[in-house]
Structures are given as C-alpha cells and as structure tokens.
Amino acid sequence: MSIQITGLRWAPPQFQGQVRDLAVRWALEEAGLSYEVKLLGDEDRKTSNYHRLQPFGQVPTYEDGEIALFESGAIVMHVAEQTPAPGATALLPAEPRARARAKSWVFAALNSLDVDITALGDIDHWAPREPWALARRPELAEMVRARLETLAAQFSDRQYLAGDFSAADIMTVMVLRALRHTSLVSGHPTLSAYCLRCESRPAFQRSLAAQLREYARHSPTNDKQ
C-alpha cells in the first residue's frame, strides 16, 4: 500500500495555505516519497470510520500499510525518521546534538508557539469586535511577540533551526503561516527572511500549489456557476 494522507476538499480563503496537511505534503516532497491525497468534506470527517483513524475528525492523517498516524507533528516526525529517496532531503540531522535540537524545535513549534498564535487567530478571525476579545487581544499579542523574539534569536548564527533545513523548520514555518493576516512575522526582518528561505524551497512550492489547486477545483463558487 502506498502512502495515503488526508486533506480538506476546501477551506475558506483566509485559511488556505495554513491547513496542516500542507506540512505533511511538504515533508513527503522533501523526502522524495510518493503519496496520494484523499480529500475530505465535513460529512466525511464526521463518520465513525474516520474517527477511528482521527479521533477529533481533523486532517491530516497518514496511512502506510499497517502504520496509521494522526496529528501533523507526529506525521512529519515519522516521515523525517524514514530513509529519504536518493538525492532527497534528510529531515533529521545525523549528528546527535543537531538531531536532538531538531526534535525539540518540532515540539516547541507546536507547544510554545502554536497555542498563543492560534488563540490570536481565533480572536482575529471569529470575534474581533467582541468585548472580551478587545480586552484580551493586546496582552495576547504581546505574548506572541515575546515568543517570536525568542525564535528570532535562534538565527543570530544560523539559517535554520538545527543546522541544515529539517523537520523543525517545516513545523515552525507552518505555525508562523497562521500570522499571515498580521505583520508580526512579515514586519520582522529576521523571521520574514527565515520564512522566505523555507518557503522558497521547491518542495514547499509544489505542496502549496497542489493544495491551492484542490481548493480552487472544489470551491463552493464553482457550484453556483
């Protein structure tokens, strides 16, 4: 059985290019591993069969023979631990200290960065004018800025988080993409340059283009034409 992952059939424009199957596609493209994408709608993600694979009904999932995983970070780490195709990118460094650093930053992206960034996005996208949101947002934005400064400091003497480009950079950039509606990253020279380095990679460009093509093909506006 070949590798099969799941993604959304469509996402609202403000979230396109942020849905986390993009991280998995990116990792697979970097590693040179072939895969298929099964696109799901809301109705598909509510079925008992899918909940056996992904208890929360989210995407992405990953299946390869008897191996099944959910959660983008777990999947990207699994891909990173595989032997890449000849000439492809190894997503975990071979040197033990760099490898440990890469693993640490995968989890830092999902725990130390993503939580507050997601909370900020929830306010901005879903409740920007609610009194509680107006009261909460300034403090939350400062917390995000502080975490971003800590991240930026990692690039004082390196281009990537763990030596060469790795799984840590995939997950970190994916988390940072959730701030595209703000200037918190785009207005920060160090982080903006870091994201550009990573997002300029051919594997990312292929992955993003494929995801956006699928969204365009399944756009609800197509049904009205």
| Residue numbers of the domain that contains 182 | 96-201
Q: Which residues pair with 8 in a beta bridge?
A: 40
Q: Where are the alpha helices (DSSP H) in 159-201?
A: 167-176, 189-199
User: Per-residue confidence at 6, pLDDT binned at 50, 70, 90?
Assistant: very high
pLDDT digits (tens, 9 = 90+) for 49-101: 999 999 999 999 999 999 999 999 999 999 999 999 999 999 999 999 999 99
Residue 171 sits in a domain of what CATH number?
A: 1.20.1050.10
The verdict on 78 and 121 lying in the same domain is no
Q: What's the structural domain count of the chain? A: 2
The verdict on 26 and 85 lying in the same domain is yes
pLDDT digits (tens, 9 = 90+) for 160-215: 999 999 999 999 999 999 999 999 999 999 999 999 999 999 999 999 999 999 99
The verdict on 15 and 46 lying in the same domain is yes
217 within 8 A of 225, measured Cβ to Cβ:
no
User: Per-residue confidence at 45, pLDDT binned at 50, 70, 90?
Assistant: very high
The verdict on 180 and 166 lying in the same domain is yes
User: Per-residue confidence at 116, pLDDT binned at 50, 70, 90?
Assistant: very high
User: Per-residue confidence at 1, pLDDT binned at 50, 70, 90?
Assistant: low
> Quick check: is 224 in a domain?
no
Separation between Cα atoms, residue 129 and residue 72, nearest integer Å: 31
Residue 39 sits in a domain of what CATH number?
A: 3.40.30.10
Q: How many helices (H) and strands (E) does the chain have?
A: 11, 4
The verdict on 112 and 196 lying in the same domain is yes
The string of DSSP letters for 101-116 reads: HHHHHHHHIIIIIHHH
In the sheet that holds 61-64, the strands lie side by side as 35-40, 3-8, 61-64, 67-70
The verdict on 27 and 84 lying in the same domain is yes
